[in-house]
Structure formats: C-alpha cells, structure tokens
Amino acid sequence: MPEVLATRRVHFCAAHRLFRADWTDERNAEVFGECANPNWHGHNYELDVTVRGPIDPETGFVMDLKGLKETLEERVVADVDHRNLNTEVGWLEGLNPSTENFVVAIWDRVAGSLPRGVRLARIVLHETPRHSVEYRGPSEESDA
C-alpha cells in the first residue's frame, strides 16, 4: 500500500518573551533583541502538521483531516491560543519559547495522539510570514 503525506494547517495567536532569567537585561537584549521586551510581544502563528501513512482502501485517506484538526485544536490550540507562552502553558514551563523549542514541544503533544498506522512526518511552525521552523521528529536527530 503506498504511503502518502497529508497536511493540515491551524492558526492561533499567542504572546511570548524570549529571555534567560540567568542573564542580565542587557545580555537578553543583545541576544534576543526586541523579542526580549519585558512587556511581551505576540504573533499570529500558522501551524502545518504533516502525517504519513498508508491510504485506507475504504476511505481513500491517510487519516481524516477533520480528525487531525480536532486533535490539533484539543492538544495544542486550546492551550496556546490567546495565551502567554511563558506563563500560561504548562507544557512549555521551563522552556524559553523560541519557535524552535515550541515546535518540538508541539510534536511531543501530538505524536501519541494519532490513529494506529499514522505517524507524524513533519511540523512547520510559522511565527511570521517570513519566519518559520520545521521539525521532523527525534528519529531525524539520530540520523544527523
């Protein structure tokens, strides 16, 4: 049975601040620039989640993308939409919520919630129209 990649996009808005508490304000500003603003800043995020699996002969789907949307809404969007990523999202606690750290945390939230035989292939998190990061999961890390 051929394997196919299928992608669903969701949208959410969230605020964050990039900083390290063990650094001075000057060092945070030097490394993170305006993103270290102590009064936070926000983004209109776009999240593309791609799953991989065989085509179901009955439905013609890898998985019902409505089901993937519901999983993303429940496991990610409900927790982060219109929230402060530094202070209001328990599964980000202790992380500096850079886009890179955030996309890995999202992977961890979604990976175990997919139907049998379907697995995550990649997640792309768009922080702005000009800035995005892509994560293809922990197996790729060991291949590098």
Residues with a catalytic annotation lie at 35, 82, 127
Tell me which amino acid residue 32 is.
F
Tell me the C-alpha distance between 76 and 116, whole Å.
Answer: 20
Backbone φ and ψ of 24, nearest 5° = -75, 160
Query: How far, CA to CA in Å, does 26 sit from each of 18, 20, 29?
Result: 13, 11, 5
Check: CB of residue 123 under 8 Å from CB of residue 48: yes
